[in-house]
Structure 1
Amino acid sequence: MKSICIFCGSNWGNREEYKQAASAISREIARRGYTLVYGGAGVGLMGACADAALAEGGKVIGILPEALKEKEVDHKGLTELHLVSSMHERKAMMAELSDGFISIPGGAGTMDEMFEIWTWGMLGWHDKPSALMNVEGYYDDLIKFLDKTADEGFVRKAHREMLIIDTDAESILDQMENYQPPQGSKWIKQKSET
């Protein structure tokens, strides 16, 4: 791995622990020599991620839709900032520039990014690790739901297990560095059966 993407909120959330976790994972990414790829904003948890990685001497690449430049306030100190035309282009560029993905607390945008990149992995369109950093139990209910999707037969257990879940920055990165994708995929199997 050379670069890791963080999906997170442009808001702070209601707990200081969210900011602390955003900073911790970003510092650890920089310490390990990885480039941080993220949404390009200078506010909320996005800004905390960028600031922490930059303070450690890390390289930080932001990708921000033009329409959000004013609302999310682009970060002025990044190594690179790419302005794109849409959210779709933002996600595609994040996927292209990143070798792994970590979702920390955030809202609907974070969920959209996390689910899309995880789905692409299930389909075999990439073999990159994806993780949830479960800060202060933020993702507890989502994790239960994801387990239910596998228990009810809508997601293969191997695909559910693709999503790394942990609370600790170092542990998440260790697991990502040792990640092995499941063999085969639904998409490849369906194509071969036709």
Structure 2
Amino acid sequence: MATVQSICVFCGSSDGRNPAYTAAAETLGIAMARAGIRLVYGGGSIGLMGTVARAVLEAGGEVTGIIPEFLVRREMMLEGDVDLVIVEDMHTRKRLMFEQSDAFVALPGGVGTLEEVVEQMTWAQLGRHAKPIVLADVNGFWSRLTDLLAHMSHEQFIRPGYELRYLVAPEADSIVPMILEAVAGRSETELEGDKASLERM
């Protein structure tokens, strides 16, 4: 049966204007550490990225940061007991994030966060994997995205049989239980999908 050993968290390299975003990142990081789940993230020390990583570490958890070489100075790599992987480009970063993660969470963030989580939605829509994808809808942050996705479906640009499969967590403390429930009874092979086809994407 499938287990959740690591979760990839996509989030902003800034804190945002609402303190609730930082609080949610801290809550998620602590919950992951207490559940023995490794954090996989973008490797930076600033913004929500730094907050969630430090929360995991301070609670005794493990962190893997994956960062492209050109972002090392801009996002200021997190120092400390972190498994830090420096890669050549964004494509390699996202590939490794996918390979090293059993689920995905999008905290609030900008267009980079949006692009990363929508890519995982697309891969799942095309049947390439069935790993849980969770939108951390802190203070309704992702509500406009879910409205847009519903609009796409209503306008028949998301066809029957290709529905998007994602979860929405209104509270940060519900994210880890939601993911554990989503993988219960499923096999590792089912979640991982067709690796050969992923290599061709």
Fold conserved between structures, TM > 0.5: yes
1:20 to 23, 38, 43: 23
- Quick check: 1:173 aligned with 2:176? yes
Match of 1:191 in 2: none
1:2 to 5, 16, 38: 5
Match of 2:55 in 1: 52
- The whole-number CA distance in structure 2 between the counterparts of 1:49 and 1:55 is 10
Q: Could you say which structure has the greater relative contact order, defined with CA pairs below 8 angstroms and 6 or more residues apart? A: 2
Give per-residue Cα distances to partners, 1:100-151, cap 9 Å, x unaligned.
0000100010011001111111111111000100111111211111111122
- The whole-number CA distance in structure 1 between the counterparts of 2:163 and 2:61 is 32
Match of 1:43 in 2: 46
Q: Where do 5+ consecutive residues of structure 2 fail to align?
A: 195-201
Match of 1:163 in 2: 166
Q: Where do 5+ consecutive residues of structure 1 fail to align?
A: 189-194
Asked if 2 retains the 8 angstrom alpha-carbon contact of 1:146 and 1:160, the reply is no
The DSSP-based 3-state class of the residue aligned with 1:83 is: strand
- The whole-number CA distance in structure 1 between the counterparts of 2:27 and 2:12 is 15
Q: TM-score, normalised by structure 1?
A: 0.88
**1:53–1:110: structure 2 CA closer, same or farther, 3 Å change rule?**
same
Which letter does structure 2 place at the counterpart of 1:130? I
Q: TM-score, normalised by structure 2?
A: 0.85
1:32 to 31, 35, 39: 35
Between 137-146 and 149-158, the greater mean CA deviation after superposition: 149-158
Q: CA RMSD, aligned part only?
A: 1.9
**Identity fraction in percent:** 39
Shift, 1:161, TM fit: 5.4
Match of 2:197 in 1: none
